[in-house]
Amino acid sequence: MSDIKLEPGWLAQLKAEFEQPYMQELGAFLRREKAAGKIIYPAGSNIFAAFDATPFEAVKLVIIGQDPYHGPGQAHGLSFSVPPGVAIPPSLRNIYQELNRDLGLSIPAHGHLLPWARQGVLLLNAVLTVEQARAGAHQGRGWERFTDAAIAALEKKRENIVFLLWGSYAQKKGAFIDRRRHLVLQSPHPSPLSAHRGFIGNGHFSKANEYLVNCGKTPIDWRVGEIS
């Protein structure tokens, strides 16, 4: 992964990780998988899209996902998001439902969350690649350590960031975050299997904005607009 191009602020924080043996092994694994004809999502140019869309110094809020969508055309490097023209996945539909309930926002016709990322919402999956039609196929290959390092950099070197930890996986990943310096909001995952056990009704979007305003930051405009 010596040819990685990353937003300069993130590169300064994570450069040492790219030099670690585990990342070299991860790069070799991905090259072997591709050479074997396996289809990997997202496209190589989008693997680090979350970092490029939300520079290190711009991060206000972090939403942690597990791994990318594994269907054709879905994954583009931002957790929970899909490109324009792709059907809105069930978990994102429930996120929109809670935004409607919490803030009265209309439910969008698309699932492209880049407008959030550009306002400082880091849409970070714990695992940054996946094999087509095999959810979780790249878990345990090293991505978790890399994204832990990214979260740790934010936790240590920034202040007053909101972390939305939805579901047990994200909650375990964010267990080390200092609650005295950051706001951590937890609830069940927005998946259809768990959304109605406490995700719907969690009020995280209004609570996050209230905290940001109290810290002197601009709140997030959670509308994603229309895609032409």
SS in 3 state form for 51-115? HHHCCHHHCCEEEEECCCCCCCCCCCCCCCCCCCCCCCCHHHHHHHHHHHHHHCCCCCCCCCCHH
Nearest residue to 121 (alpha-carbon basis) of 182, 171, 60: 60
Q: Residue 93 in contact with residue 80, Cβ under 8 Å? A: no
Catalytic residue among 67, 148, 178, 221: 67
Q: Is the previous residue joined to 42 through a cis bond, with omega within 30 degrees of 0? A: yes
Alpha carbons 215 and 59: distance in angstroms, whole number: 14
Nearest residue to 177 (alpha-carbon basis) of 199, 166, 161: 161
Alpha-carbon torsion (199, 201, 205, 211), positive or negative: negative
Classify strands 121-125 and 162-166 as parallel, antiparallel or unpaired: unpaired
3 an active-site residue?
no
Q: Residue 27 in contact with residue 166, Cβ under 8 Å? A: no
Radius of gyration of the chain (CA): 17
Catalytic residues: 67
